[in-house]
Amino acid sequence: MPQLKISYRKLDELGFQCFQNGIRLHFDSVTLFREQSFASSFALSVIASEEFGKGFAIDEITFQARVGEGFHSEDEKTLRALLSDHKLKQGWFISSMFGIFAPTQLLRKYQKIQTEKNDAFYVGVRKGNHQIVRPFLVSKSKARSQVRMVNDGLIEFVQRRLNEECDLEVYDGLLRRRRLLKKLTKAAHALR
């Protein structure tokens, strides 16, 4: 496998783009929820959380490389995995937004969310019982729960960033804005 050509500048830009894309996907999921497209809203919200998770992971790898001895082979393996491993990105999202002491129910939910995301997008046949998977059967409450969890996590995260004195992270310029907080708060009211 060819070696990744990684630089701090490239990783900073990649992380920034992940956060920017995550915000766009999140607000698209809110719009889809309002339009009662619950399956698409649910799936897009999960993808948004994956983009945020990827951004947090890239930011952490870059930070550790800057304060340590540069990039290591493990960093390259993790970066490669972040480009395709959905569960890894989801795990980074949960740990970054809710900490290592995230509620047990949230951790359990995210263990099966990849399958649920696929079921929300694709018609198929379930393994084992061979039932037909119908994406349009995703309930309003399931979509609301997912979109609200991402939105509430973002509100809390942005509020924490606004209370800090300095911009240290790549995503501060994007996520540390009162206008974003206002937009997230407005979305929260639509999700109640």
In this predicted model, what pLDDT tens digit does every residue of 89-101 receive, in sequence order? 988 898 888 877 6
- 3 falls within a domain: no
Q: Per the domain annotation, does 133 fall within a domain?
A: yes
Q: Which H, E and C letters describe 87-104, residue by residue?
A: HHHHHHHHHHHHCCCCCH
Q: What's the pLDDT tens digit per position in 17-68?
A: 999 999 999 999 999 999 999 999 999 999 999 999 999 999 999 988 888 8
Q: What is the domain extent for residue 144?
A: 8-190
Residue 68 lies in a domain: yes
Question: pLDDT tens across 122-165, in order?
Answer: 888 877 777 888 877 889 999 999 999 999 989 988 888 777 76
**pTM of the shown model:** 0.85
Q: Which 3 state secondary structure label does DSSP give 132?
A: strand
Please, which pLDDT band fits residue 115 given cuts at 50, 70 and 90? confident
What's the domain count of the chain? Answer: 1
Q: How far apart, in Å, are the Cα atoms of 136 and each of 70, 104, 121? A: 47, 28, 9
Across all residues in the chain, what is the average pLDDT?
85
Distance CA 33, CA 154 (A): 17
pLDDT surpasses 80 at 78: yes
In a domain, 115, yes or no: yes
Residue closest to 136 by CA, chosen among 34, 38, 33, 45: 38
Cβ–Cβ < 8 Å for 61, 11: yes
CB within 8 Å of 52: residues ≥ 6 apart: 18, 19, 22, 93, 96, 97, 150, 154
